[in-house]
Structure 1
Amino acid sequence: MISTNPFVSGKYLIGGDWIAADKTANVINPADHNEVVGEVALCSKEHISKAVETAALAYEEWSQSEIKDRADRMRQAANEIKTLVEENVTLLVRENGKVLVEAKKDLLRCVDIMREAADELLEWWKPEVLPGNQKVQIRKRSRGVTAVISPWNSPMILTFKRVIPAVLAGNTVVVKPATSCPLTIMTFLKVVASYFPKGVINVVTGSGKIIGDALCANPTVRTIAFVGSTQTGKEIMRAASGTVKNIYMELGGNDAAIVLEDANLDEEAIKRLRLGVLRAAGQVCSAVKRIYVHESRYEELVQKLKKEFQHLRVGNGIQPDVDMGPLNNKSQYDYVKGLIERAGETGATVFTGGIQLDPESWDKGFYILPTIITGAGQSSEIVQAEQFGPVIPILRFTDVKEAVKLANDSEFGLRASVWTEDESVAVQLADRLEAGAVFHNNHTVFQDLHLDFPGLKESGLSRETRHCGLEFFADSYGFAD
């Protein structure tokens, strides 16, 4: 049964028109393979060229629009978007797999992104006059067509954090949502697009390879904003190398949590650590994916985390009493299952916790129970890989120098956390850890939407922002007398 917004299912958006595609694929519920949530259009290279051409035409006028007008339009759109949260939260759960509480937070955060970016725009856009004998201003201008390529794990937030500042900065966008869960994004972008001139926001769907290559190689596209795997990020860079573009990428992570000898491991701390590992079933690039604990606290931490995992209820995210849902797609499910199986086969100890809420329908979904791996070595696959699932290896260390070395022994550098009662020690370690952000006694996200700290090394093209991402989608230039 197909049950979703008929205005977006199986369609794509170019120039204000929602067009039914000749070819489509089913969007299935990861909690129940038999439920078809809707359809996703399979766009061709010709569709991509048309979308970029349309965005470029719309840019000519939109880039010259008044700043206040842009902000007013966005606030009005945000007001309507907020009224859609309750009726669409189940759609996000059904196509993505998140539990209801997580899905609702994601949708409400999109509203916050729209409002806060609109508020930030007015002050941020003002020219900055530099001191000195010559009158010099730093002014801003929009850049052109922006390609936004979104992932499946947190599709709403990670799309809106790029589309919204890009449009506010005077650009036009072509959005490519993930094929496995595009419907909620398109439902919301349908509303947002209606508040802006036709062609400012365009949406194309289908093969990531076909669309990604076409967007990245198109010389009219001036900015690429991508969130996804490091491997795909490298492919995007190759595809874009024929032209000079601005590329903003948030890529993979293999975040380390370092638990020191004096760490407080009370019930609340264990809960925070568990959330850092298992939020969205571990399908978060900045989730804890390795835990290094001082040998004197190793057994204590392992036992407490096992106990915490044992009580978690795993099932369909639509159920009100569920703690964790399924993985989003079969490819990721097979990958994580394989990691766990190979860890056991190579001598590690595999502990599986959690409660199956509905054992009879368990095999219909991409479910994996929370899993703890002990006895794995630093060079093992389960430690070096980005698991992106509800599994966590725990390793012991003897001194702080060793812990830092182990944590930095990764191609990734997205986030890290230090668990200690001594904040000064946490700061000292943070200075030595190769990560874009380090948390103390927590492993979470930045609550302030103005802040964004992408990763180091192969976790992304690094930058820091305090302006809701606006500065990435505009060029600064000097104006002098």
Structure 2
Amino acid sequence: MISTYPSVSGKYLINAEWIEVKETANVINPANISEVVGEVALCTKEIVDSAISVASDSYKTWSLTSVEDRALHMNNAADALAKIIEENVTLYVRENGKTLIEAKKDLLRCVQVMEECAAELINWWKPEVLPGNQSVQVRRRPRGVTAVITPWNSPLILTFKRVVPAILAGNTVVVKPATNCPLTVMTCLKVIAEYFPPGVINIVTGSGKMIGNVLCSDSRVRTIAFVGSTETGKEIMKKSGERLQKVYMELGGNDPAIILGDANLDEEAIKRLRMGILRASGQVCSAIKRVYVHESRYEEFVKKLKKEFERVVVGDGIQPDVTMGPLNNKAQFEYVSNLIKRTIQSGANVITSGIQLDPETWGKGYYILPSIVTGVNQDSELVRVEQFGPVIPVLSFSDIDEVVELANDSEFGLRASVWTENEKLAIQLADRLEAGAIFHNNHTVFSDLALDFPGLKESGVSRETRHCSLELFTDSYGFAD
């Protein structure tokens, strides 16, 4: 049993100083809820205000540095972070619940974000000369203090994809990681902050509602980058609108996967579908949340997916044989458990599969075996909500127009996928689907981290496609002769 807490436990970061507070909360291992991984500081309103003040003061000098200097700082920090990945994989698994493979991949991608964003910065920052009779340049400049508020499900990559471009663009940041899973994020940012001037990176933890209110109520905070629920995103939008703060939000999703009649349902395709559904125990905003299968392939699909789910080994992610860990926290565990109970009570057929790695300790963690649900319709609760857990409804359809209507029948529009051997048909179908990104014969993330496509409707605010999100953290202006 690992008994020592990480050095950031129970502390917050302001102006390059890690400061302890009297009031803290425990960070629990979701695989063994009796184990305390560390503590999270419960910052006061005054501490958050102080972090904003320091970030605002530091912005005055950091914003004047050259892009070459900023990129050099970031590359040096990336080299340092790469050296501590192995020693922090276990910490990440213990506080988050991911498997060892998932955790290490997330840490490696953080280094990749730093390197790719630093490389992108130099050319992207150069003034763009517009065509025309008048000499006009498009030039860029940072915005000011940026608040970065991130969730517990994939805290590392979702934090880094906002903090890194924000500070590279010349802004300073106040980071608010999730209370349930802050320690690995803070440990990594501790290493990075040492390569930047004091006050460029500040971290506060505690009540999301209180900290969010302070950040959205302060005119010195010019940008809010938030990842989380649509409900919280709407509250942030209301508060930030009073000061016309720029908002960049990645919110909820209810991603459809559409299996056409000619889809290749071989072993590799079913494996990709399983990964699209169960990655991080289904706790991914862009995971597959509902599957629509052409009626001619419905029984075949359910049978093959069930067989694939039967191979899933559920247990403590620290064990190398585990392929799916626990849910992250009590609230999410209870929500998904009760959702499954209500689904069964509604008369639906819930097919639960998978292997319990250690049945004797099953009740000590937030474990749920994966389930396939049939006998539901478009109005069923499981189909309408973002379940955020390892349970997937499977519905049938008869024609293209019907499935497009069903897929678009949601307030969400984050991701979607089309499974067919006809690429031309896949593109035609994608043109009709209301989602920020559509994958063909896969449902995953972009391997090129310079790319991102936010969701439509209630799944996100702000649009970017390239440049590692740098444009979201800058203003542009025209310079004309």
| TM-score category (smaller protein) | over 0.9
Shift of 1:406: 0.4
Say which is worse superposed, 86-95 or 240-249, in terms of deviation: 240-249
Q: What secondary structure sits across from 2:55 in the alignment?
A: helix
Which residue of 2 is the match for residue 88 of structure 1? 88
Shift of 1:216: 1.2
Give the distance between the partners of 1:218 and 1:52, measured in 2 at CA.
8
The CA deviation string for residues 50-73 of structure 1, in whole angstroms up to 9 with x for no partner, is 000000000000000111110001
Q: Give the AA of the match of 1:168.
A: L
1:167-178 → structure 2 map (5 Å cutoff)? 167-178=167-178
Shift of 1:2: 7.2
Question: 8 Å contact 2:314–2:369 — kept in the other structure?
Answer: yes
Question: 8 Å contact 1:5–1:187 — kept in the other structure?
Answer: no
Which residue of 1 is the match for residue 44 of structure 2? 44
Q: Give the AA of the match of 1:215.
A: L
Shift of 1:465: 2.3
Establish whether residue 62 from structure 1 lines up as the match of residue 62 from structure 2: yes
Which residue of 2 is the match for residue 476 of structure 1? 476
Gap runs ≥5 in structure 2: none
Shift of 1:23: 0.5
Give the distance between the partners of 1:34 and 1:7, measured in 2 at CA.
21
Q: Give the AA of the match of 1:221.
A: V
Which residue of 1 is the match for residue 416 of structure 2? 416
Q: Give the AA of the match of 1:444.
A: T
Q: Give the AA of the match of 2:113.
A: I
Give the distance between the partners of 1:280 and 1:4, measured in 2 at CA.
26
Question: 8 Å contact 1:453–1:462 — kept in the other structure?
Answer: no
Which residue of 1 is the match for residue 358 of structure 2? 358
Shift of 1:81: 0.1
Give the distance between the partners of 2:295 and 2:227, measured in 1 at CA.
36
Give the distance between the partners of 2:2 and 2:267, measured in 1 at CA.
43
Give the distance between the partners of 1:217 and 1:55, measured in 2 at CA.
15
The CA deviation string for residues 193-243 of structure 1, in whole angstroms up to 9 with x for no partner, is 110110000000011111111111111100000001101101111221220
TM-score, normalising length: structure 2:
0.99
Q: What secondary structure sits across from 1:40 in the alignment?
A: strand
Give the distance between the partners of 2:134 and 2:4, measured in 1 at CA.
60
Question: 8 Å contact 1:317–1:324 — kept in the other structure?
Answer: yes
Which residue of 1 is the match for residue 256 of structure 2? 256
Shift of 1:131: 1.7
Question: Per the alignment, do residues 2 and 339 of structure 1 end up closer, same or farther by CA in structure 2, a change over 3 Å counting?
Answer: same
The CA deviation string for residues 16-42 of structure 1, in whole angstroms up to 9 with x for no partner, is 100001110000000000100000000
Deviation beyond 2 Å, 4+ runs, structure 1: 1-7
Gap runs ≥5 in structure 1: none
Question: 8 Å contact 2:5–2:37 — kept in the other structure?
Answer: no
Question: 8 Å contact 2:253–2:412 — kept in the other structure?
Answer: yes
Give the distance between the partners of 1:276 and 1:92, measured in 2 at CA.
21
Give the distance between the partners of 1:137 and 1:278, measured in 2 at CA.
47
Q: Give the AA of the match of 1:296.
A: S
Question: 8 Å contact 1:254–1:288 — kept in the other structure?
Answer: yes
Give the distance between the partners of 1:340 and 1:405, measured in 2 at CA.
26
Which residue of 1 is the match for residue 346 of structure 2? 346
Which residue of 2 is the match for residue 285 of structure 1? 285
Question: Per the alignment, do residues 463 and 305 of structure 1 end up closer, same or farther by CA in structure 2, a change over 3 Å counting?
Answer: same
Which residue of 1 is the match for residue 390 of structure 2? 390
Say which is worse superposed, 391-400 or 131-140, in terms of deviation: 131-140
TM-score, normalising length: structure 1:
0.99
Which residue of 1 is the match for residue 235 of structure 2? 235
Q: Give the AA of the match of 1:60.
A: K
Give the distance between the partners of 2:400 and 2:67, measured in 1 at CA.
51
Give the distance between the partners of 2:27 and 2:50, measured in 1 at CA.
25
Q: What secondary structure sits across from 1:435 in the alignment?
A: coil
Which residue of 2 is the match for residue 337 of structure 1? 337
Which residue of 1 is the match for residue 375 of structure 2? 375
Q: Give the AA of the match of 2:233.
A: G
Q: What secondary structure sits across from 2:19 in the alignment?
A: strand
Q: What secondary structure sits across from 1:438 in the alignment?
A: strand
Give the distance between the partners of 1:335 and 1:16, measured in 2 at CA.
39
Q: What secondary structure sits across from 2:394 in the alignment?
A: strand
Count of matched residue positions in the alignment of Structure 1 and Structure 2: 481
Give the distance between the partners of 2:264 and 2:78, measured in 1 at CA.
41
Which residue of 1 is the match for residue 452 of structure 2? 452
Q: What secondary structure sits across from 1:247 in the alignment?
A: strand
Identity of aligned residues (%): 70
The CA deviation string for residues 323-373 of structure 1, in whole angstroms up to 9 with x for no partner, is 100000010011111111111101100110000001111001000000111
Shift of 1:459: 0.3
Shift of 1:462: 4.0
Which residue of 2 is the match for residue 79 of structure 1? 79
